Structure 1
Amino acid sequence: MRAMTRLFHAIALAGSTALLAAPVAAQDRLSVVATTGMIADTARAIGGDLVELRALMGPGVDPHAFRQTRSDIVTMARADLVLWNGLFLEAQMEDFLLELGENSHVVAVAESLPQDRLLAHEDYEGRFDPHVWMDPTLWSEVSLTIRDALIEAHPEGADTFTANTDAFLSQLEELESYSRDVLSSVPESARVLLTAHDAFGYFGAAYGFEVVGIQGLSTASEAGLNRISDMVDMLVTREIGAVFVETSVSDRNIRALIEGAAAQGHIVAIGGELFSDAMGEPGSYEGTYIGMIDHNATTIARALGGTAPARGLNGMLAE
């Protein structure tokens, strides 16, 4: 694996040689590459006009399985700053990113969180659940790490980055307050969130929901027939009426649960589609970090018997 990573790194360096050989105009903006949309959107909000930002993973992309292409390698090698989640989220990229970080400015933003704030990873001993963006309070702390990384890479922009961060943190406070209000309206007996994979652990810890994923924390974890059967029995026994699909994970297992419950005379509905490991389409409200979490909180609350406005926090702010 290390040998292959070195080969990719060599390709990246070779690909940039031609550009370095010819004179180019000075770049006014900091070139930043982020792995996930959540990191990219946050860095864009903080960086503002001083940053030219590219996200490697778009809507519907599973970061657990994502592998960098040759063009991705070249892009990261040329960037002034590379931001990745870490905590083994980008499992297939980790060796490359660690090696790139030996000679470039590369920051694993979620790994700045204290370990006592992290949840254990059930699939990999000694690792932690990487889905920290599901809790806006934790993401506020990650945002500070992103701010500091931008300042280190471009000290001249410190005042702008700091002011933009303060504004973004205020938005996160509004988001967290809204999420807490609407999710607390869900009856306690109905606070069971069943999804395709276990990406909502931090959400559950923050808002008092029992979280059940058919697959483990990584989408690479397989759900066997016994697991599906046990979960069907749980749906029927506990009279759970809604389950949720995810935009970045196949709904095959969710459909199997619904069919299994129906065979036992229990009707289960799809409560909605949630954004877990990827955001919505670029240019859409759900294509922002604020929008994806707002959408999730609103969808979950309404599907499980709580009270939430049809247009969520976005609708409230627009009024």
Structure 2
Amino acid sequence: MPGRLLRLLSLLQSRREWSGRELAERLGVTERTVRRDVDRLRSLDYPVIGTTGTAGGYRLGSGTHLPPLQLDDDEAIAVALGLVGAAGGGVSGMAESSMSALAKLEQVLPARLRPQLAAVGSSAEAIPRPGIPQVSPGVLAVLARCCRNHEIVAFDYDGRARSVTRRRVEPHQLLTLGWRWYLLAFDPGRDDWRIFRVDRIAEVAPALHRFTPRVLPAPDAPTYLVESFTSAQYQHSVHLTVQAPAATVSATFEGVVRGIVEPVDPSSCVVRFSVDTSAMLLTQVAAIAALGPFVVDHATPETAALIARVGERLKQSFG
């Protein structure tokens, strides 16, 4: 009996709402037994809320006391690894907070899981990547809440080229790519979808007005983000013909997807990419050059001169 109650509690914590039939099927009991078990949880001060009607069911409400969080073995290790990874990410102050949370998690886990969690905490460490912009966890929390609640949000945005502007948008989803955080939102003032770097967002304020979510012009948010990067025109744009298979060249764009690779034949391809810094340009060109000879088909004069100048310096350095 205690084991089934813990399993029921774990199911209620795993998603917002369950029907009685779904819970009965998962637990291998009758719906009447589910109702009795729910009553037992309520007697233990767990705020299980029941809804009526054809779509009625059960959900775990918020109460004055936080109920114990039930995690199975794999979930506990997944949380631990996530905390270790967060320590090396692009969110400011997360290293100390993640390790503190990991220590608290170890204290409340069953004895059989503590050695595994201790091994993760002592043997795994995420190395922060230098130069990655840090975002405020408070800003992320507000934006995430507004995305979930379909609530309009206002903020100051440092667009660099256009200085700081006050924006009022309909937030859709937070995304992370290449260790950077992005907000995908619809901007009514510009009547179009926009992608904002979260590290350039400040003075976030929910507008306390709800909106009806719009249909995204892409299969999903990650696809929209990647397509936006591949079609954007940054300061340095270049087209190359590379004597290497397209699949091999595509692998060089892992992490920050801003390149388009099109095969010419089985042993060569055309690469088009656009980046906003000379350092990133040279990094991509150098990675491609390591795969095979290439020809610059198109580039702005500044970009072409930069590639030629660095190439000549490398040639002189190695005689």
TM-score interval (norm. to shorter):
under 0.3
Give the structure-2-normalised TM-score: 0.28
Which of the two has greater helix per residue? 1
Give the structure-1-normalised TM-score: 0.28
Larger radius of gyration: 2
Which of the two has greater strand per residue? 2
Q: Which has the higher contact order (CA 8 A, sep 6+)?
A: 1
